[in-house]
Amino acid sequence: MLDSLWVLSAISLLPVAVLTCAVWRLTVRLRRIRSRQVEVAARAVAEVRTGFARDLHDLVGHRLWVARLHGDTARGLSEHLPAVHAELTVVIESLRLAAVELRELAAGYRGTRFADEVAGLRAALAAAGVACVFTGPAEPDRETGDLLATVLREAVTNVLRHSAARRCEIDLRDADGLITLTVANDGVRGCTRTVMAGEGLANVRDRVAAVAGRSDVRSADGRFTLTVAVPGKLA
């Protein structure tokens, strides 16, 4: 009698177990889809910005160079006309300054402010149901900020792809000539050796080492933490 009841109970629970498993698999797939959407969107924005910067620099920059070249020629021919010569000097200097400002503008579009990257990734984490806490409102210099933005993007991609995180903590600080970025999450899932040995973190280590920085990856007590330290100061 007891055996029959046990069998009946097991059979009655089977649909629940199957449904639970299906829901879990669906949740995992949705998280992966969301993380891929974030990657695709970020890549598309970066490509558009880079393309715009290249076209802006190449097309307008070339026109400015041609105008300045003709201006120099005209100024050389106007030495006997002091007023014309002076006006052409002003025009040429204006063209030179415009070329400088164009280069700076193009460089700005190629790069991404670290603060903007943080804002975008926080929104991506929130969309995936991961609470994000950021500490350190200061902005690094442009070169260091570009590097740290790349590191942060890779770290958050790992959170979205490989973890079951509900909370992600991002900390930025500087001390003794080093800027330290720490990204930690509470969603370690199974073995993390594959993540630690992955191409993404390997690229992070190479980039950081190239500027004489250091990186560290740890997984313990259900937390996964990536820390990088690179030369620089916060603004």
Which domain CATH number covers 227? 3.30.565.10
Cβ-in-10-Å burial (0-12, 13-18, 19+) of 155 comes to: buried
Task: Say yes or no to pLDDT of 5 above 60.
Answer: no
Q: Same domain, yes or no, for 203 and 121?
A: yes
Q: Same domain, yes or no, for 117 and 208?
A: yes
Average pLDDT in the 204-221 region?
89
Mean pLDDT of the chain: 76
pLDDT tier at 175, thresholds 50, 70, 90: confident
pLDDT above 90 covers a percentage of the chain that reads: 15
> Which pLDDT does position 179 carry in this prediction?
93
Expressed as residue numbers, the domain containing 63 is: 50-110
Q: Is residue 15 part of a domain?
A: no
Average pLDDT in the 98-121 region?
69
Q: Is 109 left (phi over 0), alpha (psi -120 to 50) or beta?
A: alpha
pLDDT tier at 40, thresholds 50, 70, 90: low
pLDDT tier at 87, thresholds 50, 70, 90: confident
Higher pLDDT, 42 or 9: 42
Rounded to whole angstroms, what are the CA distances from 38 to 67, 82, 115?
A: 43, 61, 17
Average pLDDT in the 90-96 region?
74
> Which pLDDT does position 2 carry in this prediction?
46
If one counts the domains in the chain, the total is 2
Higher pLDDT, 27 or 186: 186
- Choose one of 110, 127, 150: the last residue of a domain: 110
Higher pLDDT, 176 or 169: 169
pTM of the full predicted structure? 0.55
Average pLDDT in the 166-175 region?
92
Average pLDDT in the 159-170 region?
85
Q: Same domain, yes or no, for 202 and 130?
A: yes
Average pLDDT in the 180-207 region?
74
**Could you tell me which residues are beta bridge partners of residue 167?**
131
Vertex 127: Cα angle to 125 and 130 (nearest 5): 45
Q: Same domain, yes or no, for 123 and 139?
A: yes
Q: Is residue 5 part of a domain?
A: no
